[in-house]
Structure 1
Amino acid sequence: MAEIIRINDTTWRIEDNGVRFFLLTGTEKALLIDSGMNTPNAKEIAESITKLPVMLLNTHADTDHISGNGGFDCFYMHPDEEGVYRAHGGSGAILPVKDDDIIDLGNRPLKIIFIPGHTPGSIAVLDINNRVLISGDSVQDGNIFMFKEHRNMPLYVESLKKLSRLTDAFDTIYPSHGSFPVYPELIASLIEGAEQILDGTAKGKAVDMFGTPVMLYKFPYAGFLCDIPESK
């Protein structure tokens, strides 16, 4: 069962068996950021917290982030994510968002930052006034999924470098997995680890993920689960 944890008077995190999603409120509207893995009632959870009208935005469309999407006729998502979303059986109308778009909840502007790589349409959300980055899966200290279709490690590195250029705008990062919260210094570490994987200097070990053999590259600050390199 999902656990609702209040961060402050206008922000909550909902912990759902290893993944978390967020509810943010302004003076006029509320926004769910993702809808969990085992929470088809995500909208009802949000409506039990606030009386404001609730909208939904997805950071990306992996199945552990969209279980409650069916409660919404429409929702915000980057259009490059639609293929992933529909492949996972996602329904409803997508309200497209793009890099630098602002969603204002009423005295609470939220800026969209396009960070493809983990998935084609991954985004982060900058809570401008509160100096918080909501990072989806891309910035976390858990094991980041970078195996099978839709993943692009070079693009992921470029997206992390983009975030590293924006760190003057946020003090704290709210990730979807792993420890909560994490901090901007993690971004540079993730770049370093991902680049070591790309240049072949990182050491990994083969593990099983849901019946798929993958390579786990474990660093002190996080891990990456990647396709097993082809033998040369």
Structure 2
Amino acid sequence: MLNKPVCDSWFSTKRIREDLYLITEPYYYWYNRANLWLIKGQTQDVLIDTGLGVSSLRQYIASLIDKPLLAIASHIHFDHAGGMNEFERCAIHAAEAEALRRGDNYEALCTPEQGWVQDEHFDRLPHAEFKAEQYTLHGAEPTQVLQEGDVLDLGDRALEVLHLPGHSPGCIALYDLRAQELFSGDVIYDGELLDELHCSHIPTYIATYERLQKLSVETVYPGHYRIFGQERYHQIMQEYLDRRRHPGCPSEPLMIQ
């Protein structure tokens, strides 16, 4: 780490459309690098996931915020909930609210023994004093505890909370019925799906996908990797179900998503 330069800006932004921005942490390992989605609404804005929390996301997005902001963690894992403590209004599903409240490094998968946060995962440093071995999840008091079926009213659109466990007990996605858009967190993305973590449960993941197969989705904005559409959405789920419905199938997950 000593030979790595400090980056000028830890984050980068891509404008998807007028009301949607994708924020990423480009100097962090691509395999674990989360997609952070800023949705601009008429009466409030929503930020889905907050990244590692190693640099101030709140300050970075300040110029984009002109109304009340709700920061939502799609689940407790460190690459998604690391920056939640920065935001006055923050939300997470009830199943993981206590873990966020107490800054539970084990549930966030970032204890030194778990080994997910490593020096080699940082191409540049977020600040000069940064050391991967000192990384910790900062606790945050949820101002809103989410449940299945909750609706977030942004004035010009509504986002429904879907509780979709399997990867972890409190995994959620946000669904826009009118636009048929799914902000999926780590429930579904176009990459290696991790379901053998200590917090994962394969039969529950199967049930989640069987539910999602019935959901009308045109576009998925996932927690990792690229945006994809309806055809790939169904392919990913069917491939997973075909593999996991047969017991004894090997899997060797390497990193946390």
> Could you say which TM-score interval applies, normalised by the shorter chain?
0.7 to 0.9
TM-score of the pair, normalised by structure 2 = 0.73
- The CA deviation string for residues 56-84 of structure 1, in whole angstroms up to 9 with x for no partner, is 11111110001211112441111012354
SS at 2:183's partner residue? strand
- How far apart, CA to CA, are the structure 1 residues paired with 2:180 and 2:148? 18
Q: Which has the higher contact order (CA 8 A, sep 6+)?
A: 2
| Amino acid corresponding to residue 15 of structure 1 in structure 2 | T
| 1:218 aligned partner | none
What is the CA–CA distance in structure 1 between the aligned matches of 2:138 and 2:241, rounded to whole Å? 30
Which position in structure 2 is the counterpart of 1:183?
A: 230
What is the CA–CA distance in structure 2 between the aligned matches of 1:93 and 1:30, rounded to whole Å? 19
Q: Deviations over 1:111-170 (max 9, x none)?
A: 111101111011110123332100001111112222231101110111111111112xx3
Q: Which moved more, 1:62-71 or 1:188-197?
A: 188-197
1:165 counterpart (214, 220, 227): 214
Structure 2 residue runs of 5 or longer lacking an equivalent are: 1-9, 106-136
Percent of matched pairs sharing the same residue: 23
Find the partner of 2:16 among 2, 7, 10. Answer: 7
Give RMSD over aligned pairs.
Answer: 2.4
User: Counterpart of 2:244 in structure 1: which amino acid?
Assistant: I
Query: What code does the residue aligned with 1:81 have?
Result: E
Q: What is the Cα deviation at residue 39 of structure 1?
A: 5.1
Amino acid at match of 2:150: D
Residue of structure 2 equivalent to 1:26 = 41
Q: Distance in 2 between matches of 1:40 and 1:130?
A: 33
Structure 1: runs of 5+ lacking an equivalent: 211-224, 226-232
Residue matched to 2:221: 174
Displacement after TM superposition at 1:174 (Å): 0.4
With 131-140 and 175-184 compared, the bigger mean Cα shift is at 175-184
- Would you tell me which structure has more strand in proportion to its own residues? 1
The answer to whether the aligner puts 1:131 opposite 2:146 as a matched pair is no
Equivalent runs, 1:15-54 vs 2, <5 Å: 15-16=24-25, 17=28, 18-38=33-53, 40-54=55-69
Structure 2 CA distance for partners of 1:40 and 1:68, relative to 1, 3 Å:
farther
Q: What corresponds to 2:243 in structure 1?
A: 196
1:117/1:138 Cα in 2 relative to 1: closer, same or farther (>3 Å)?
same
Query: Matched residues in 1 for 2:38 and 2:254: separation?
Result: 33
Determine if the alignment matches structure 1 residue 93 to structure 2 residue 141.
Answer: yes
What is the alpha-carbon distance in structure 2 between the residues aligned to residue 34 and residue 22 of structure 1? Answer: 7
Which SS does the other structure have where 2:42 is aligned?
coil
CA gap of 1:158–1:84, structure 2 versus 1, over 3 A, is farther
AA matched with 2:79: D
* Aligned partners of 1:2 and 1:39 also within 8 Å: no
The 3-state SS of whatever aligns with 1:143 is coil
